[in-house]
Structure 1
Amino acid sequence: MSCTGGSVFLPSKEPGDYEEAEGWTITDREEDLWTKEISYFWVQTFPAGKTVHIRHTYTPSAKTTNTGMPFSSCINPDTWDYQDFVRIPTPTGTDHLWDKLEAQHYVEYILTTANNWQGFIDDFNLLVESPLKSVGCFEGHPFYGEKYFALSRKYFYPERNLSVDFLEKGTIPSSYKPASDPASSA
């Protein structure tokens, strides 16, 4: 995890004690200091021996970061650039989706549903519409679009949830130093 720019509060080793950090890069952390979990649940009765078609619709939890901190598995944390496999042609000939980040909005879609699937989903379709360019990485395959993207899978068994990024173009803050930069450990 990299923390850069602005002020962030980081828990110290003593419970209840916090220290302020500006422009820090945190590396070699043995464990997360906190975790978050969102659960949706409901009771549903299905008719025995019948094929049932189900459609779930909900408003997912949206998050935003404007510190330039990469939160996506699609982003290389050392360069803040998208990994090589997330590139598209543009009218100017540049093949980067976007060179650097200014702000990132991301939405998490819960697909695992408490991991109680009793088999696969025969026909899984996801359509996300956005006024911003969007990028997602799921099961090792990126998908992206100008104003929307779609993901379809046959015989799909969700093993993890989906996080979708919506990006605003920008530049790297001058305070950022990649974790691999020897000056960042000084």
Structure 2
Amino acid sequence: MARRDGLIALSVAGMSAMSAPASANDTTAQLGAGGLIIGRSDQIAMESEDLFISPEKVTVDYVFRNNSDKDVETLVAFPMPDIEGSPYANVDIPVDASDNFLGFSVSIDGQEVKPELQHSAFAVGLDIGKELDANGVPYFPFGDATLKALEKLSSEVAADWQNRGLITLNEYDDGSGMKSVRGPLWQLRSTYWWRASFPAGKPVKVAHSYKPSVGGTAGVSFYTDGKFQGQYDDYKRKYCLDESFERAVEKATKNSGDGFPPYTETWLSYVLTTGGNWALGTIGKFRLTIDKGDPANIVSFCGAGVKKVGLTTFEMTATDFYPERDIEILILQPYDSPR
């Protein structure tokens, strides 16, 4: 995350006795969201960013400054994560059946802003928004309204869309006989945007928040038969797992008495690299706070100079910070902890 050699990992454990694990195949994927973006600006610098991440919420407080001698008005955007429609998709949608599926909100100098929302839908690389609009089909692929609209399509339109890869037929037996349901295959791309004014030489405070999409598994996927194996090498690179993390997992497994790590996995992602689009390409003062949620949880992520600052919180600070790496967080939660 910092422009330095030697990223460090942080692994803090709390142990308790647990029950047997569920299948690790029960997996939910997370959606990676991040901060605000702007077309590369030579006038507007990000003086500071205070970023807080937990499984329940993400809050970001910025201070921007227009370093030129003229006022600047520009567009600022918050790109929502892309959502893939698929019969096999199992992603966490924090706010169900809503265009604002992350519950995004933003304010400037303490005043709430109501941003515009730009939607687009793509299938096999083509923009299919006009076809969805013409047939009254919402763009959000996982909403009940979308499935109901697909049910109402004429057989001719449905056959055409199926042949072109816009929709698929999901066939299953719900106990009362076989069902055939039309399902979306398109990708939803969404961006919130608004016009912002940056007076010459003055600081502007911008704050935004949202509820993160949280992925995970019903067990631990990288430790079996008393060994770290499977995708553990990938995890090690992604989350900077270290020896203290390994010792914590091994100790908890030994105490469980059944040879399985007594945890479920939770994953969070934050797209940080867009912070380099502002003037100078760096963040003047950067502070990251991560809350693992419960003292019994184990957390690991990549960072430089990370310190424990609370019972469940960890902090990293940097000056003239270059965001060359997105944030990936792994939290192991005991089975009996609410998620």
TM-score between the two structures when normalised by the length of structure 2: 0.31
Question: Aligned partners of 2:282 and 2:263: how far apart in 1?
Answer: 38
Measure, in 2, the Cα distance between the counterparts of 1:37 and 1:115: 22
Distance in 2, matches of 1:40 and 1:158, equals 22
Q: Which residue of 2 aligns with 1:167?
A: 332
* Overall identity of the aligned pairs, in %: 25
Shift of 1:122: 0.9
Q: Would the aligned equivalents of 2:276 and 2:282 in 1 still touch at CA under 8 Å?
A: no
SS in 2 for 1:45: strand
Is it true that 1:96 corresponds to 2:247 in the alignment? Answer: yes
The structure that has the greater radius of gyration is 2
In structure 2, C-alpha distance between the alignment counterparts of 1:165 and 1:42, rounded to whole Å: 33
Pairing 1:139-178 to 2, within 5 Å after superposition: 141=304, 143=306, 147-168=312-333
Q: Aligned-residue CA RMSD in angstroms?
A: 4.5
Q: Check whether the contact 1:135–1:143 (CA below 8 A) recurs between aligned residues.
A: no
Residues 126 and 150, structure 1, Cα contact 8 Å, conserved in 2? yes
1:107 equivalent among 252, 264, 268: 268
Query: Tell me, which stretches of 5 or more residues in structure 2 are unaligned?
Result: 1-22, 28-86, 89-164, 169-186, 223-227, 251-260
Corresponding residue of 2:242: 86
> Secondary structure of the residue that 2:200 maps to in structure 1?
coil
Which residue number corresponds to residue 50 of structure 1?
202
Give the aligned partner of residue 216 of structure 2.
64
Note closer, same or farther for the CA distance 1:162–1:79 as it changes in structure 2 (3 Å cut).
Answer: closer
Change (3 A) 1:114 1:88: closer
* Structure with more contact order per residue of length (Cα contacts < 8 Å, sep ≥ 6): 2
| Higher share of residues assigned helix | 2
Q: Which amino acid is the alignment partner of residue 287 of structure 2?
A: N
Query: How many residues are treated as equivalent by the alignment?
Result: 140
Mark the runs of 5 or more structure 1 residues left unpaired by the alignment. 17-34, 71-75, 90-94, 171-186
In the alignment, the residues of structure 1 paired with residue 229 and residue 305 of structure 2 have an alpha-carbon distance, to the nearest angstrom, of 17
Compared CA separation, residues 49 and 126, structure 1 to 2 (3 A): same
User: Amino acid of the residue matched to residue 102 of structure 1?
Assistant: Y
